[in-house]
């Protein structure tokens, strides 16, 4: 029996609205902003999938990939039908390639505009 259920995956970042907009353009969905005394929090309600949330983190330092001495903490695997088309789209939205040169693999690694690693994975 489970002790809990997953509510949301939260990404710390310097600009929650901008990062939510990036992922909304990649995944679709609805962005819902919410600010209070503790900073800004933005939810992205993704159709047919779990929600993502973005939390303002003053002093945010992005992870380095790959670097054994600077953990990436986690990354998102985004399933796509066409790697080339998806790659073109995420680069136009501001993603940066981290490990996308090996065209024979079924995945490519990028950083979102705040520096979080994510993979585009062929289905």
**pLDDT digit string (tens) for 51-93?**
999 999 988 888 887 776 766 577 888 999 999 999 999 999 9
How far, in Å, CA of 120 to CA of 94, rounded? Answer: 15
CA 57, CA 38: separation in Å to the nearest integer? Answer: 10
8 A C-beta contact, residue 75 and residue 116: yes
Q: Classify burial at 88, counting beta carbons within 10 Å of its beta carbon; exposed 0-12, middle 13-18, buried 19 or more.
A: exposed
CATH code: domain 7-59 is: 3.10.180.10
Confidence class for position 97, pLDDT limits 50, 70, 90: very high
| CATH topology assigned to domain 61-123 | 2,3-Dihydroxybiphenyl 1,2-Dioxygenase; domain 1 (3.10.180)
Closest CA to 99 of 64, 69, 68: 64
pTM, two decimals, is 0.83
Q: Could you give the residue range(s) of every CATH 3.10.180.10 domain in the chain?
A: 7-59, 61-123
């Amino acid at each position: 029996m489970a002790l809990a259920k997953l509510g949301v995956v939260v990404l710390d970042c310097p600009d929650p609205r901008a990062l939510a907009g990036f992922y909304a353009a990649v995944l679709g969905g609805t962005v819902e902003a919410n600010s209070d005394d503790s900073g800004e929090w933005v939810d992205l309600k993704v159709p047919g999938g779990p929600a993502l949330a973005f939390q303002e983190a003053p002093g945010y330092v992005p992870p380095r990939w790959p670097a054994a001495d600077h953990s990436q903490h986690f990354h998102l695997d985004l399933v796509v039908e066409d790697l080339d088309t998806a790659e073109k789209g995420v680069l136009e939205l501001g993603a940066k390639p981290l490990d996308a040169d090996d065209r024979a693999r079924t995945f490519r690694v990028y950083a979102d505009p705040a520096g979080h690693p994510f993979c585009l994975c062929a289905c």
